Structure formats: C-alpha cells, structure tokens
Amino acid sequence: MARQMTGAKMVVQALKDQGVDTVFGYPGGAVLPIYDEVFQQNDIKHVLVRHEQGAVHAAEGYARSTGKPGVVLVTSGPGATNAVTGLADALLDSIPLVVLTGQVPTFMIGSDGFQEADTVGITRPCTKHNWLVKETNALSPTLHEAFHVATTGRPGPVLIDIPKDVQFATGTYTAPVKGGSKRYQPQVKGDMQAITALVDALETAKKPIFYTGGGVINSGDAASQLLRELVDATGFPITSTLMGLGAYPASGKNWLGMLGMHGLYEANMAMHGCDLMINIGARFDDRITGRTDAFSPHSIKAHIDIDPSSINKVIHVDIPIVGDVAHVLEDMLKVWKSRGRKTNADGLAKWWKQIEEWKAVNCLTYKNSDKIIKPQYALQRLEALTKRHDRYITTEVGQHQMWAAQFLHFDDPNRWMTSGGLGTMGYGFPASIGVQMAHPDALVINVAGEASWLMNMQEMGTAMQYRLPVKQFILNNERLGMVRQWQQLLHGERYSSSWSEALPDFVKLAEAFGAKGIQCKDPADLEDAIMEMINYDGPVIFDCLVEKHENCFPMIPSGEPHNKMLLGDASTKDAIKEGGAVLV
C-alpha cells in the first residue's frame, strides 16, 4: 500500500524493507535529513567511520563476509569523492554495495554550490549503475532497483545521488516488488548445448584443471558445495585466484593452491600444461594469465561466467557458458552423472604423477632464522594458532597479502577479504571493521604491511568507539615491500622512494587510541605474543618486526608466461630447470 512520507524517511524505510541492519557512513550538510531519520529509529545500526573511503571498504568487508549488500551513507562533494576509491575497488572485485550520497538541492545543481560535485559523472566509470534522483516520488523505486542491480547477475557497487530538497519533500513510498526490476534480469541458466560440450571434453581430457575465482563465492554457498562435489567426484586438480580462496577447501586432496603472479609452482605449471581448462567464475586477470599469447597454449578452454562481457574479453575460449555458477554446475553434474560419471582414468593418473613432481619442488620453502622473524614464519605461526577459531582474515595490499594467501588456509568461502583487482592499500583495516560488525563473536585479523596500514589508520577511532576487537597484524619491514622487491629484481636495485621513514611507534599509537599495542621482534617470543593478541578482548595493533629485504616467491615476472617463474630456494635448482623456470 502506498504511503506518504518525506524523501529522508523513504531512504530509511527502503533500507528496512531491503533487510539492511548496518550502515557505514559519515554525516554532512547534504544528508542531515536522512541522518535525522536514522536517529529516530533503532532497527538499523549506523557505524560512524573516520573517513568516507573507510566507510566503503568497511561495507565491502561486511558484504564479502555475509553475502549481503554493504550500505554506505555519505554527504555531497568531498564525501562522495572520498568514496570513489572504494567504489572502484568493489567494481573490480564484484562486491555488492549500495552507496547513498547527498547532493545540493536540485535548483542549485550546476551552480558550483558549496560542497557540490558531479557525483553521477565522477562515479559512472566505477559503479555498476548510478542514479541522480530529482523527484521524491521516484526515490523509493530507485532505492529498490539499486539493491536489485547491486546483487543480481555479477554483483557490484551502485550509487544513488539524492539532492537535499528531495530528502525534505513529501512523496509516495512504494514497497519493493517481488523478483526485483523487470528491466534487469540477467541470464542465470547456461546453454545446455554448451554444457554438454563441456561434459564431452571433461570425459576425455588427459590433463584437466579447474580454475576458479570469486564468482563461485559470489554465487553463494550452493555454488561452493556443487564445486566441491564436482571436483571430488571427477578427481580433477583445482586451483584458484586470490579472490576465490575458500570456495574449495585448502585441506581438500585435489587442491593445488593459488595460481598467478605469486601463485604456487604446481598450480602455475598445471595451468600452463593442461589440455582442458575449466574457468569457473574468474575473469582471466593479467595477474593470472601472464603473457596472454603464451597462456596455457595447448588447452581447450571453457569459461563459465554470469557476466557476458567477461567472455572472450582477454582470452579466447572454446566453450563459453553464460550463466550463474550454481545453476551451471548443477546442470553439469546432472549431465555428467547421467552419462555414467566417465573420466579418462589413465590420463588423469599420469597427470597427477606429473603434478606431484611439481609439488616436490616445495616452492614456498624459505630460509628461516632464529635471529629475526621471517614474514613467512610469522604467517605460519598465525595460521597454526588461529585456524581452529571462528576466523576471518582481511589484508592490506603488498607482499604481506601474497604471503597471507600462500600460508593461510581457508576451508570455507567468505572467510577471506582482500583487494584483488584494484590492489588498494588501506583496504584491510576498515574491511576488518565491517567483518567484525557482521560477526561480533568471531576472531577478525587484518594482515597488514606498515605502509598500507597507515593509509587508513584513523579507523582505530571507529574500532574503539564500537568496541570492535579487530586484530591488526602488521608485518613491519620498514619498506614498501612489493615496490622494493620489483626495484631490486627489475630496476637495478634503485630503491626510489620505497623505504618508509618516520614510522610511528605502533605500541604507543595503539595506546593513544586506548587500544592494546604489542611489539615482537624475536622469533622465540612470537608464539606467546600472537596468543596475547588473540586473547585480548579489544582492538590490538601487533607490530611484528620482520626481515626487511625478504622477497615474495614464487613470482612470474611481468610479461612472462606461467612456466617462467622466479623461485628463491637453491635446493630446488634441478627440479626447477625441468619446469623451465628461472632461479633467483
């Protein structure tokens, strides 16, 4: 039944009708009518961040860990422009967000009024869709459509720009329509002819591999369960992108680990040498493909993706299937089972024998020390001491992120939050706040580098205000670690602006916010220090002083194919030569 109410009240009512329980935001003049309505209700929690970029990353963490859309409320002008980095991040990583921005009154648009910016124009390239609502009667339908667009098909961020006079004016509120907007209904069922062709290839392949991405996780728990069933039933090896970790369990017998620029040797070699590559919910990102003309040169390639624009965008595929991962996997399993569950057993046995030889290279081997903490060792101990907890991991961006992906293991989806496509330094801390808001009793750890962490350090205020016991595990090498590594290996050891100077005392910084600070520099003290962090009931900044010039291996150098990897341990020299990789 239609009801009369102000635009500001419509916003809050629409959020309630869409099942929203948490909003991340920062008030300002152009959204005060909405904030006034937020104040007058108790169903929706508002989290006051310290910067609008933090609000969007927090909403991303909330969305990624729950499967529900994250919601952001910020003011006009700088409030909206500060949100742009988070929007671009969410677009590349397919994170469903609804961002609400205030705008100057409609009669002032285009006049360069105070805190006016062309928010719709600025955010058009970094949103899935955006709207400027100039009529109060159009506001509630637009809000409901925004949630539908953000969560349907390939998820992504949407933005609604709401002028202040539209918030004050009275109009007609309409409830959400079941099934969402008829104007946007992406294809979810895959073409059965293509699915049958994929099953044909699956039955005869001698060297198959499943290559999975974040699309499996975005498709929901059913997709992850179907993937596990298919992998275990066929006995095929499986690898994953950075964004897909957890869709198939790291403890699973068919798991090869992550692939890509800093992926595992066996995963990259299997991708290069396979004869059937089944891409499920990944987008052939350049960090995965390496040099495209040399990418998996002898394989039949299938690609399952709900986004038609991702098919044949980077890599030409032989079997394209547009559809939702869960629907397509369900149909694939039905067809394959009905035809007798056939695979090429002899070929598969030889393929696994080859993969075991690649695994024997032990590409994550590193030279440990009893004098200084190696970053790999720090993460191995973190994994051992936290894996039995109800644990969620976020990361910043850099070497620590790649080491976390290599050494932390995920058996379930939605437990790993990281910035993949945009590589946003400053993502992890606010994302951990969003995760902790969604899972108040869980152990939430942000694996960080000191340079990335400083980008949004102000969110310690948010963590303290809302008593969020997020743990900031900083691998402090006093360097922009990944930049320094590239400069060492590819730029003649010319370390241009890659050394952090004038770093804060992180223990004192934590104490200044009223949080717990811990510093550890001796490997012998590391385990006790990590346990102290875990057991402390409140926010912690853990300053882990690590080897300053440790490099992250394996590494595919820019412009090289999958089988040309840099590895760091001389003990594997003979095995590496056979794989065609380069030894550092």
575 HSE (CA, 13 A, CB side): 19
CB 142 within 8 A of CB 131: yes
CB 541 within 8 A of CB 472: yes
CB 268 within 8 A of CB 260: yes
Say how far apart CA 500 and CA 476 lie, in whole Å: 10
Q: Enter the tokens of residue 281.
A: 């919910």
- Could you tell me the mean pLDDT of each successive run of 10 residues in the chain, 584 residues long? 91 98 98 98 98 98 98 98 98 98 97 97 98 98 97 97 98 90 89 98 98 97 98 98 98 97 96 97 92 93 97 96 98 98 98 98 96 98 97 98 98 98 98 98 98 98 98 97 93 94 96 98 98 98 97 90 79 40 44
Q: Inter-axis angle of helices 399-407 and 481-490, to 10 degrees?
A: 100
pLDDT of residue 578: 39
Say how far apart CA 552 and CA 566 lie, in whole Å: 10
Dihedral of CA 29/34/40/46: which sign?
A: negative
Say how far apart CA 466 and CA 11 lie, in whole Å: 24
Domains parsed from the chain with CATH numbers? 3-173 (3.40.50.970), 192-359 (3.40.50.1220), 375-545 (3.40.50.970)
pLDDT of residue 277: 98
pLDDT of residue 584: 40
Predicted TM-score of the model (pTM): 0.96
Say how far apart CA 483 and CA 477 lie, in whole Å: 12
Give the Cα-Cα-Cα angle 294, 300, 301 (nearest 5 degrees).
Answer: 80
Q: Could you tell me which of 442, 434, 444 has the C-alpha nearest to residue 466? A: 434
CB 275 within 8 A of CB 343: no
pLDDT of residue 581: 45
DSSP, collapsed to helix, strand or coil, labels residue 269 as helix
How far, in Å, are 229, 337, 436, 484 from residue 222 at the CA level? Answer: 11, 18, 24, 42
Q: Could you tell me which of 558, 574, 557, 575 has the C-alpha nearest to residue 566? A: 557
Task: Write out the catalytic residue numbers.
Answer: 52, 114-115, 164, 482
